[in-house]
Structure 1
Amino acid sequence: MYENTYYPQETLRKALTTSFVWMALGLLVTAATSYLCYSTGWYLWMLTSMPMIGLLLFIVQIGLVFAFQSAMQRSTATGIKVLFMVYAVTFGISLTSLFYTNSQAQLTAAFLISAVYFICLAFIGLTTKKNLNSIGMICVIGLTVLIISQAVMLLFGVSFDTRMISIVGLLLFTGITAWDIQRMNKILYLSNGDVVSQEKIAIYMALELYLDFLNIFLYILRLLGYNRD
């Protein structure tokens, strides 16, 4: 049975609103950063000046994730928000390459499809009475296997079907997204009514949803690119 450890609807609604607002702000910062890097030519300049910029950004992003987790215990809600925005900027720089490999129409279509898809998943996560813990964990394990498999295939030069990888990845993030939204209730329950903790949790969940949305967007973009080719 699904354990009813839910917070009052007003508290949950406020936390969800905060999370979705900050997720949207993160996506806006990422999109603006990518467009500026592309339109000003700064991204190409970085690639020329610092050929290892991709690896550097990846390391910085990993460091920010660890810093984010540590800040949940030690920092203020403001500090966590700053880390989230910095992470969104670095991700925006990383995604600038999409402007060189995809048309603006394709990027727009992928974003709109992702938005509708994400809203549907959010609705499912908020309204379903079924406990999605087991589904979420299975999807996380599946995603880990998918990432490792891709790494091994690239290492040994084994070809793989981009379309199939995209479909599998999209299905996995379908489960993870619905699970992330549902589990906010349980995470809020652990805050024991602390307003500051609830704000931190809302920003933490904003980061989770931000990453879920971006991964859904990237997999849908791959599928659109595959169909165009």
Structure 2
Amino acid sequence: MANWSDPRTESAPFATRSARTRDAAYDAGLRSYMLSVYNYMASGVLLTGIVALLFASGGAQSPAAAVFFGGGILKYVIMFSPLAFVMVLSFGINRLSTGAAQAIFWAFAAVMGLSMSTIFLVYTGASIAITFFATAVAFLSLSLYGYTTKRDLSGFGTFLIMGVVGLIVASLLNLWFQSPAINLAISAIGVLLFAGLTAYDTQRIKGMYDYVAGTDMMGKAVIMGALSLYLDFINMFQFLLSFLGSRE
């Protein structure tokens, strides 16, 4: 005979249903959060590409050619402005409103387009398109791996960041040596490093949801996550283009 006084006979199904509801709500919130990150990142890349294409429109007669090949201080302002925006977002995100962070992100993507416009003057359109497609496929695959894998990738973070620092140092030194072999090695290592960072950053951004869900930091976390993935994509694209792209 059923023990009608035992509350477990009725509470267990409700407890299970409640747990399922919480899990479903969490999964829906996480998907919405990650989709927002990817939407901002993809929109930033699109804005960068449009600005770069328009700025380089006209080839040798384009504004990009006048700025970058004509000399003057403006080219250095354009080249280093993206770094300034990244630093403002990285070190000032806690003091910025969500709206201000979004505005800075869009401004960064636009200025990055000005900075990258020279690729349309140096490389053929076909090689840029092929490299972009290859980068997009690699990025999606690596980001999907970072999102779905059960393996903890946090241990690779320090190694990858140190690798990027070493890559920057090597690139600066090669400005002096001007060695094609070193440049090729830098490009190959750069692709591998930012491929690893794509998976690592995706997992890190996913894990961040637990800390920002339901808080005022959610919007800012989306922007910072989009910025990280944007930088991974753009750097992987540029390094891949440097040794796969066909020059004009």
TM-score where L is the length of structure 2: 0.82
Identity of aligned residues (%): 27
Q: RMSD of the TM alignment (CA)?
A: 2.3
Matching residue within 169, 172, 189 for 1:151: 172
Matching residue within 13, 24, 30 for 2:31: 13
Q: 1:114 aligns to what SS in structure 2?
A: helix
- Moved >4 Å (runs of 4+): 156-159
For residue 116 of structure 1, report the CA deviation from its aligned partner.
0.4
Structure 1 segments unaligned to the other structure (5+ residues):
1-5
Q: Return the letter of the residue paired with 1:187.
A: M
Partners of 1:221 and 1:45 lie apart in 2 by: 23
**Structure of greater relative contact order (alpha carbons < 8 Å, 6+ residues apart):** 1
1:163-209 deviations in Å (ceiling 9; x for gaps): 32211111111111100000013322332630x31111011110111
Partners of 1:147 and 1:46 lie apart in 2 by: 25
Partners of 1:201 and 1:144 lie apart in 2 by: 24
| 46 and 154 in structure 1: CA distance in 2 versus 1, 3 angstrom threshold | closer
Moved more, 36-45 or 102-111: 36-45
Residue in 1 that maps onto 2:197: 176
| 218 and 44 in structure 1: CA distance in 2 versus 1, 3 angstrom threshold | same
Partners of 2:179 and 2:41 lie apart in 1 by: 36
For residue 28 of structure 1, report the CA deviation from its aligned partner.
1.0
TM-score where L is the length of structure 1: 0.88
Partners of 2:111 and 2:53 lie apart in 1 by: 13
Residue in 2 that maps onto 1:37: 55
Partners of 1:110 and 1:11 lie apart in 2 by: 34
Residues 1:220 and 2:220 are matched in the alignment: no
Q: 2:214 aligns to what SS in structure 1?
A: coil
Q: Return the letter of the residue paired with 2:37.
A: S
Residues 1:109 and 2:160 are matched in the alignment: no
Residue in 2 that maps onto 1:57: 78
| 78 and 50 in structure 1: CA distance in 2 versus 1, 3 angstrom threshold | farther
